[in-house]
């Protein structure tokens, strides 16, 4: 698993006004929590965080979080838990970091990456990727960046499930093994056109009940 350094500042001010002030200064509010310790409100430079997220590229990465607080500096180990973005501008609004220990198992999601080319696709089928992540647990040092799924033997109509993943030692997959990850669909067959029905004179619709306007003489 990769390891990155992220510098943050502890923040004392709370509330919407303080958060708006932080964002105007180019910083992102966040929180560092976990391991039974008191949550710590933090802020991080928006550009540094965006750069770190690009390097993460959806993978699980250990973060050495360098915390500046009251003229003191300390480092804690964490993993990225959640990132909130503006739905329109995609600007980062908030970040959650989860404290971890190298000697304690963590629960997380690992991305699934496909390997190879399915023969069924060469035959005109459609590869449908149904689930892109699975839930796992393990020690941080045992967790890979992703799990690999080989689709090079998939024919038309074939599927691969969670149980078909290559899982390294020390990692336990929590997602049910029977869940389908990927399948090759046969190309859809266009239905034959139905013969045109004979033209009929439409019947007058049956009046079930009067509307409100009719009842009140507003027709």
Q: What percent of the chain has pLDDT above 70? A: 84
Q: How far is CA 142 from CA 113, 136, 183, in A?
A: 18, 11, 29
- Stretch 19-29: mean pLDDT, rounded? 93
- The pLDDT, as a whole number, for residue 24 is 93
Going by pLDDT thresholds of 50, 70 and 90, the confidence category of residue 14 is: confident
- The pLDDT, as a whole number, for residue 192 is 53
Is the pTM higher than 0.75? The answer reads no
From-to residues of CATH 2.40.240.10 in the chain: 3-100
Torsion on CA atoms 136, 140, 144, 146, rounded to nearest 10: 50
Q: What is the three-class DSSP state of 54?
A: helix
pLDDT at 154 over 80: yes
Q: What percent of the chain has pLDDT above 90? A: 69
Better-scored residue on pLDDT, 204 or 167: 167
CATH code, 3-100: 2.40.240.10
- The pLDDT, as a whole number, for residue 58 is 58
- Stretch 29-58: mean pLDDT, rounded? 90
Q: Return d(Cα 206, Cα 219) in angstroms, integer.
A: 17
Least confident of 66-70, 174-178, 213-217: 213-217
Q: Which CATH architecture has domain 107-185?
A: Beta Complex (2.170)
For the stretch 107-147, pLDDT in tens is: 999 999 999 999 999 999 999 999 999 999 999 999 998 99
Q: Return d(Cα 28, Cα 26) in angstroms, integer.
A: 7
Going by pLDDT thresholds of 50, 70 and 90, the confidence category of residue 187 is: confident
Question: How many CB atoms neighbour CB 104 within 10 A?
Answer: 10
Q: Return d(Cα 118, Cα 104) in angstroms, integer.
A: 39
Better-scored residue on pLDDT, 207 or 19: 19
Q: Output phi, psi for 49, to 5 deg.
A: -70, -45
From-to residues of CATH 2.170.120.20 in the chain: 107-185
For the stretch 48-99, pLDDT in tens is: 999 988 887 656 788 999 999 988 999 999 999 899 999 999 999 999 999 9
């Amino acid at each position: 698993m990769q390891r990155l350094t992220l510098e943050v500042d502890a923040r004392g001010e709370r509330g919407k006004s303080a958060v708006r002030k932080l964002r105007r200064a180019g910083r992102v509010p966040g929180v560092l929590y976990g391991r039974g310790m008191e949550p710590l409100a933090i802020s991080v430079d928006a550009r540094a965080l965006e750069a770190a997220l690009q390097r993460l590229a959806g993978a699980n990465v250990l973060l050495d979080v360098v915390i500046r607080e009251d003229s003191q500096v300390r480092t804690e180990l964490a993993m990225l838990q959640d990132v909130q973005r503006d739905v329109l501008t995609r600007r980062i609004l908030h970040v959650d970091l989860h404290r971890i220990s190298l000697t304690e198992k963590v629960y997380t999601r690992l991305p699934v990456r496909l390997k190879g080319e399915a023969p069924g696709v060469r035959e005109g089928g459609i590869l449908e990727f149904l689930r892109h992540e699975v839930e796992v647990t393990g020690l941080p040092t045992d967790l890979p960046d992703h799990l690999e799924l080989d689709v090079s033997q998939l024919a038309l109509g074939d599927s691969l499930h969670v149980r078909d993943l290559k899982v390294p030692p020390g990692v336990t997959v929590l997602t049910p093994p029977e869940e389908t990850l990927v399948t090759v669909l046969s190309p859809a067959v266009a239905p034959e056109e139905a013969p045109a029905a004979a033209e009929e004179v439409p019947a007058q619709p049956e009046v079930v009940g009067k509307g409100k306007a009719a009842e009140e003489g507003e027709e």
